[in-house]
């Protein structure tokens, strides 16, 4: 028996339901006009934290929820599509959300990180991914996005910290307006 057997049965029930209305009219524009970059940690589920449903948000997840070159490229692509395919549509807001007790903090441990980077990863780049204080790292990542010329200045960018013990999401970096970028 596979761990996915029950999940596939759940998918059968999902697919048997009415999918109309759950799909965004324009595939790359979420219903709620939000794009969230956060961690892969299973305790950090934006759908559960914010009450999101299918099609409500774009969610990008990676270790630590860090803004990497891949995240910037994805965001630039969505910006480009929005500018060229739906220039008159409302713009989405972007949130970077880091959290307490993040496993990426183990990147700060030299021995653990060195063992990992021996698999072919850059040590300095990997060390920079550690989230020890989400308020500090989320502010750095928001600055990265705000400074990226490839990303539309029409996107409001906010930084949040999520406390896994209390369940509270706090604003660390307030949203920008277009003129602020």
Query: For residue 102, what pLDDT is reported?
Result: 98
State the average pLDDT over residues 5-29. 78
**Residue 95 is encoded by which pair of tokens?**
């949130």
Please, what's the b/e burial string for 74-102 (b: 16 or more CB within 10 A of its CB; e: otherwise)?
ebeebbeebeeeeeeeebbbbbbbbbbeb
pLDDT over 70 for what percent of the chain?
A: 93
Domains of the chain are 26-180 (3.40.1050.10)
Query: For residue 14, what pLDDT is reported?
Result: 83
- Report the C-alpha gap between 142 and 126 in whole angstroms: 19
- pLDDT digits 0-9 by tens, 53-90: 888 999 999 999 999 999 999 999 999 999 999 889 88
State the average pLDDT over residues 115-142. 97
């Amino acid at each position: 028996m596979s761990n996915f057997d029950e999940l596939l049965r759940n998918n059968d029930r999902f697919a048997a339901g009415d999918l109309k209305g759950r799909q965004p009219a324009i595939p790359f524009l979420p219903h709620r006009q939000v794009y969230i970059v956060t961690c892969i940690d299973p305790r950090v589920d934006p759908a559960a934290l914010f009450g999101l449903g299918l099609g409500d948000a774009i969610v990008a997840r990676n270790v630590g929820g860090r803004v990497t070159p891949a995240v910037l490229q994805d965001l630039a692509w969505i910006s480009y599509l929005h500018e060229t395919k739906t220039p008159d549509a409302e713009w989405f807001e972007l949130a970077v959300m880091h959290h307490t007790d993040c496993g990426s903090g183990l990147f700060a441990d030299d021995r653990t990180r060195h063992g990992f980077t021996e698999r072919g990863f850059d040590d300095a780049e990997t060390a920079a991914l550690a989230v020890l204080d989400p308020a500090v790292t989320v502010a750095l990542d928001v600055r990265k996005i705000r400074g990226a010329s490839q990303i539309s200045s029409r996107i409001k960018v906010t930084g949040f910290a999520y406390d896994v013990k209390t369940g509270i999401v706090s604003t660390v970096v307030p949203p920008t307006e277009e003129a602020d970028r």
